[in-house]
Structure 1
């Protein structure tokens, strides 16, 4: 019987596996995909996450590949509204870094394979999970598995969450975006750390631009509808129409996506009575726990989703260690995890909601008011607070 079984081998599940393995636990990961995805979804990695990656021995290799973003510029109608520097927001790592998600996942998988060879199992589908109070039984298409605790890191459509009977709570409205990578035509610097992000708060909706390694740049534009048939040429035309910037040489297909903000009503299963225990006796702590998108679906605008999941992992690891060593404390430590991380999820959703609201189409008095707010937020003393928020120092 494993100490911990993690269902979902994406960046959050594999990060948690590494943290637990470094802490000495017997951990295994089940991943439904037979082959890793090469989609470059989440790219931003914030300072608190870099500290967590350093603790598991991954940060140095990641920083060798990533682009460091020390500042972000805000523009509208061809004018610069302001700039935010991240250098004072996080002294240990005075930058946000950008790296395609598939590269980040590869680094995490390689590290976990060093720590627990053969324990990352690809092409395995979970078909059922049942919390018995003293252990969890997991059924898969390759046979049953038992573990002391099962972690759902299997994304927004989590089967683990569904099996545990945990419902979603909707937070705010949804939005749609179109995303794609292009050759970076921005002026280059001899210093590799000088790459910058640009936010275009335009009349027709926000356009965001972030540097990536190997001379690439990620562009994301808010759209009026889910443009599933749009291609890179459509995205390039939209960028030019709103910002005046001409992008060329697409690197891969454009993709449309919809953003919803939802929070699980609990982040671990209900407590159960241990089989054979007295009806009046204490109830065992629930042994199914959620992390990442399985627990909270947050807008990726602002780069919070993957990083929020990593911070879940950092908080959950010591709680699981305590629960395994001292079963009597399990209920209280998991309740604290649930309380603190759902609170962090709500704060992240509020911040993401603010970001999305600022990026919506604006004209006339609303446009002037929005631009005035943006200018004020990039000036002292507000700029340091905003920089700390955008680097996730409060989550």
Structure 2
């Protein structure tokens, strides 16, 4: 019997596995994908997460691979409305790191493999989970057939469609929003350099973030009529119409559209199984908090797992963990709702008023610093 089985080999599951392996805990990570995902996906790593990632020795390598976003600017009608510096948000990491998720996962996987070359089991589909009060048994199907893995504890880090959450019939009320977005990565032909740019235009927001390799991500809130299929040309056209910036569709390396949902479980700890990351809380990608929330879940859960493995009674600590992390997730949901509201289409007269109010608020140093801290999850 192993100590901990982690269901889900994405960034959150891999991070937790590395934390535990460093402490001599035996771990198996069950990942349905047979190969790593090559999609750039999430790109923003906030300062608290960099501090967490530093605990397993991968932060410095990621910082070297990524782009350090130290400043964000809000633009409306071609005029800078507000600027925001992240210099004061952290002593060690005074920036948001932009790095494609594929590189982040690769760094995490390398660390896990270095600690235990047999820890990750790919092509593993979980079909059942059983908790007898003293151990957990997880039913798995792989290319080699069916098997059952016995562990002292289980952690579900298997994403928004969590198999474990469904198998355990854990309530997780779902809310959907009207907002839809189109996202794509293109060669960077702007003069923004390492700055993030938010275009607060009356037809809807356009967001722009630097990426490694002289690339840039563009995200636009879609109008009521969505293109038949997401395309680089559609996104380039929206960016040009709203910002005046010409994006070369021919340089596109990724394009996708997405809607917005939020979901919070009522409980994150169920017997000997815990849920973390998107399995426990799904929030809007706008603001880039989802992956970061999962890492902070894992960082807080890891010492409690160590205590449970020594048969220490940590029921009160687990309840405190659950309350704290669910409050953090609820706060992130509220922040994402504010972000989405600011990016929705508004009539032109209200657009002028809104942008003036944003500019006035941002000119107050205390407010500016507080907003910067909220955006970077401090």
What TM-score comes out, normalization by structure 2 length?
Answer: 0.95
User: Structure 1 residues 236 and 50 mapped into 2: Cα distance closer, same or farther (>3 Å)?
Assistant: same
Q: How far off is 1:174 after superposition?
A: 4.5
What is the aligned partner in structure 2 of residue 359 from structure 1? Answer: 343
Say if 2:144 is the partner of 1:145: no
What is the aligned partner in structure 2 of residue 264 from structure 1? Answer: 265
Q: Secondary structure at the match of 1:187?
A: coil
Unaligned runs of 5+ in 2: none
Is the Cα contact below 8 Å between 2:176 and 2:260 reproduced in 1? no
Residues 146-165 of structure 1 aligned to structure 2 (within 5 Å): 146-165=150-169
Is the Cα contact below 8 Å between 1:32 and 1:124 reproduced in 2? yes
Q: Secondary structure at the match of 1:219?
A: strand
User: Structure 1 residues 39 and 348 mapped into 2: Cα distance closer, same or farther (>3 Å)?
Assistant: same
Is the Cα contact below 8 Å between 1:84 and 1:378 reproduced in 2? yes
What is the aligned partner in structure 2 of residue 209 from structure 1? Answer: 208
Is the Cα contact below 8 Å between 1:8 and 1:152 reproduced in 2? yes
User: Structure 1 residues 158 and 381 mapped into 2: Cα distance closer, same or farther (>3 Å)?
Assistant: same
Unaligned runs of 5+ in 1: 189-193, 270-285
Q: Secondary structure at the match of 2:40?
A: coil
What is the aligned partner in structure 1 of residue 65 from structure 2? Answer: 65
- Which digits, 9 at most, give the CA deviation of each residue in 1:132-154, with x for residues without a partner? 21111100114100111111111
User: Structure 1 residues 321 and 236 mapped into 2: Cα distance closer, same or farther (>3 Å)?
Assistant: same
Q: How far off is 1:171 after superposition?
A: 4.9
Q: 4+ runs of 1 displaced by more than 3 Å?
A: 225-228
Say if 2:171 is the partner of 1:167: yes
In 2, Cα distance between equivalents of 1:256 and 1:22 = 38
User: Structure 1 residues 215 and 26 mapped into 2: Cα distance closer, same or farther (>3 Å)?
Assistant: same
Q: How far off is 1:319 after superposition?
A: 1.3
Say if 2:293 is the partner of 1:308: yes
Judge which range, 80-89 or 163-172, deviates more. 163-172
Is the Cα contact below 8 Å between 1:18 and 1:56 reproduced in 2? yes
In 2, Cα distance between equivalents of 1:147 and 1:155 = 21
Q: Secondary structure at the match of 1:141?
A: strand
What is the aligned partner in structure 2 of residue 317 from structure 1? Answer: 302
What TM-score comes out, normalization by structure 1 length?
Answer: 0.91
In 2, Cα distance between equivalents of 1:165 and 1:228 = 36
What is the aligned partner in structure 2 of residue 280 from structure 1? Answer: none
In 2, Cα distance between equivalents of 1:228 and 1:296 = 30
Q: Secondary structure at the match of 1:355?
A: helix
In 2, Cα distance between equivalents of 1:365 and 1:343 = 37
Say if 2:224 is the partner of 1:220: no
User: Structure 1 residues 119 and 76 mapped into 2: Cα distance closer, same or farther (>3 Å)?
Assistant: same
- Which digits, 9 at most, give the CA deviation of each residue in 1:357-389, with x for residues without a partner? 111001144313321332134221200000111
In the comparison of the two structures, how many residue pairs are matched? 371
What is the aligned partner in structure 1 of residue 194 from structure 2? Answer: 195
Q: Secondary structure at the match of 1:384?
A: helix
What is the aligned partner in structure 1 of residue 2 from structure 2? Answer: 2
In 2, Cα distance between equivalents of 1:86 and 1:80 = 17
What is the aligned partner in structure 1 of residue 56 from structure 2? Answer: 56
In 2, Cα distance between equivalents of 1:171 and 1:327 = 38
What is the aligned partner in structure 2 of residue 96 from structure 1? Answer: 96
Is the Cα contact below 8 Å between 1:227 and 1:256 reproduced in 2? no
Say if 2:230 is the partner of 1:230: yes
Q: Secondary structure at the match of 2:75?
A: strand
In 2, Cα distance between equivalents of 1:359 and 1:234 = 19
Is the Cα contact below 8 Å between 2:202 and 2:348 reproduced in 1? no
Is the Cα contact below 8 Å between 1:72 and 1:198 reproduced in 2? yes
Q: Secondary structure at the match of 1:383?
A: helix
Match for 2:352 among 368, 376, 394?
368
